[in-house]
Structure 1
């Protein structure tokens, strides 16, 4: 956190001096002023330096692969933030990074503990599912990075619970990685909450999503001992907990992609249909939107801890139904507001704010 807090003002200064700024050049972009978008540099600096200094390399021998894969995404994100990268090239970089941790570090989903009736998987399916999952989650965090403080706040929740889960199961090196990333993001958020002085950019969101995805895989497959653990009672509970941590970005991305496909459009065509856009349309500020979605994430995580001992597919259905109920409420609130006469909308906005 201290490294990131000390680095960000210098990044802002250099970005403004060299005019490395994010231009509000489309209807989808919410900000109206030019703002630096290289906050990912500070996040990557804090996360990588502290993790490299403190983890036990003898205990966590795969750290070099995680760092190398993260560096690929960091450099890809920097290039995209500065001059834009073709989406296909960005996807290739994400798949390459995922392949490094899956093939070389051997971090992969080997067992689904009965989810959808699937238990131990063959090697090829394990590799395929993990690569697709890491790539998808990396993109999911990139997609929810649409308003000040949202992606960072969700990521802080994820890394806090991941670090806690690792620490309570005596896996201290992955716990250090989780807390180092959390600290770096907290340091960045000091400058990113509305009114934002800097954005994390793709160099931040891609790395954050990827590292959280990798840590989730490590948690679900490498943690074996649960005796006396206050958080998780079984491998099945760990897998359910990891899904709940990632549920808001994953649910939002699935929903948006599905909506676009049903309308006959490309799933990668940008629009204003994300959850945070719905809340903004209801008249909430950036800060209130972040708080609402963060609370929704905490509610889903809390529900998961209480139902982790139920049959696995029953637990998954409860989580999905809870998220769908929250979204349905939000959808009809937005729809009713959009149908109001103009004079009533302004009154309702004043009431909400």
Structure 2
């Protein structure tokens, strides 16, 4: 047992150090080649900022898989290499020349299938959750693909302000690391720790005022993909592994949701609003949770990311306590009630933002009309004085 612990500490520390070394070099290259992320009307930054920070994620993760392969007792690491390579080039191209949503989804589907076709990632049971004890092979692959695509795009969409995707990713991968080490799946526990280290090392630069860099779609899709991989592996654990966990097997779906509730909740909410308004679900707007917090309370990116990540941590703790104190169905009902209250709260403060903007626009319009009226009056006075001076009676 001592050997995995030492390996875990080394994986975490070295991944932080490797990311901290690579990111400044990427910043210099991006600035030299002028591959900057220029602000637009929806951007949260006001000046051109280096992007492509996700390149460091890919490099460190691929190297870590080589060193951690001794713990890969089922040989699943081979599924990672083609999948991560596809996602890397897909994200890189999207950062340099924007891709259509359909192209991104097609690439994400191919990458996900490299994982899902491995038998160790097959979801064949929910172990009694809502009475589901058996899932057909192809239905399990379809369900796994839906989960993968949902999580990848959820993390892609929440990457809208500094530190948010990284913070939520750290919370999720920390939870997965604990679960997999308890279950005796050290390869996935170590890989989760590597992702925690990568995101921690990147966070220092993402929140920096002088040496800032964005992860770009290269990074956000890789985070979402790895969270999706860990989610599928969590759901596909066998009974022997689940028996080692400090909770019941049929509680796994709720524990999983608690790890990633913020991106799932926000994406489902935003997609629903866009569809109800007759818009494309992938169209851009400022209805995301982080936008509402910033627009309503006028707080910084750091504070907004910290608040949202804290809520995610609180959800993990609250859901865990609920499962200990009540049964699964009562806990699930309370969670749905919590989500409903959250939707109501966000609707209320969104209305406040809209009202504030309406008042602000009305005030600006009044000032503009007053200024125009004063200017017209002054011009009329000048013309009258000039006429009296040029043509005296």
1:286 matched to 2:282 = no
1:108 matched to 2:122 = yes
Partner residue, 1:221: 236
Query: In the aligned structure 2, how far is the partner of 1:58 from the partner of 1:5?
Result: 27
Report Cα offsets for 1:119-147 as digits up to 9, x if no partner: 31111211111011101100000000000
Measured after TM superposition, the shift of residue 226 of structure 1 is 4.9
Equivalent residues in 2 for 1:187-336, closer than 5 Å? 187-193=201-207, 195=209, 197-224=212-239, 225-226=241-242, 229=245, 232-282=246-296, 283-309=298-324, 310-336=326-352
Query: In the aligned structure 2, how far is the partner of 1:226 from the partner of 1:90?
Result: 34
Structure 2: gaps of 5 or more residues = 1-15, 364-393
Measured after TM superposition, the shift of residue 53 of structure 1 is 0.7
1:149 matched to 2:149 = no
Query: Please, which of 141, 154, 165 is the counterpart of residue 179 of structure 2?
Result: 165
Partner residue, 1:62: 76
Cα distance change, pair 150–218 in 1 and its aligned pair in 2 (3 A): same
Query: In the aligned structure 2, how far is the partner of 1:267 from the partner of 1:70?
Result: 26
Measured after TM superposition, the shift of residue 342 of structure 1 is 4.6
Measured after TM superposition, the shift of residue 118 of structure 1 is 3.2
Partner residue, 2:154: 140
1:14 matched to 2:17 = no
Greater CA deviation, 53-62 or 3-12? Answer: 53-62
Report Cα offsets for 1:22-80 as digits up to 9, x if no partner: 1113x222111111110001112222212321232551411110232122111100111
TM-score by length of 1: 0.91
1:174–1:215 Cα contact (<8 Å) kept: yes
Structure 1: gaps of 5 or more residues = 346-353
Give the match's secondary structure for 1:339.
helix
2:251–2:323 Cα contact (<8 Å) kept: yes
The size of the alignment, in residue pairs, is 341
Partner residue, 1:349: none
1:53 matched to 2:67 = yes
Measured after TM superposition, the shift of residue 234 of structure 1 is 1.7
Equivalent residues in 2 for 1:25-104, closer than 5 Å? 25=40, 27-56=41-70, 58-104=72-118
Partner residue, 1:23: 38
2:126–2:133 Cα contact (<8 Å) kept: yes
Structure 1 or 2: more helix by fraction: 2
Give the match's secondary structure for 2:121.
coil
The structure with the largest alpha-carbon Rg is: 2
RMSD: 2.1
Measured after TM superposition, the shift of residue 115 of structure 1 is 4.1
Measured after TM superposition, the shift of residue 338 of structure 1 is 4.1
1:131 matched to 2:145 = yes
Query: In the aligned structure 2, how far is the partner of 1:313 from the partner of 1:71?
Result: 41
Query: In the aligned structure 2, how far is the partner of 1:151 from the partner of 1:297?
Result: 12
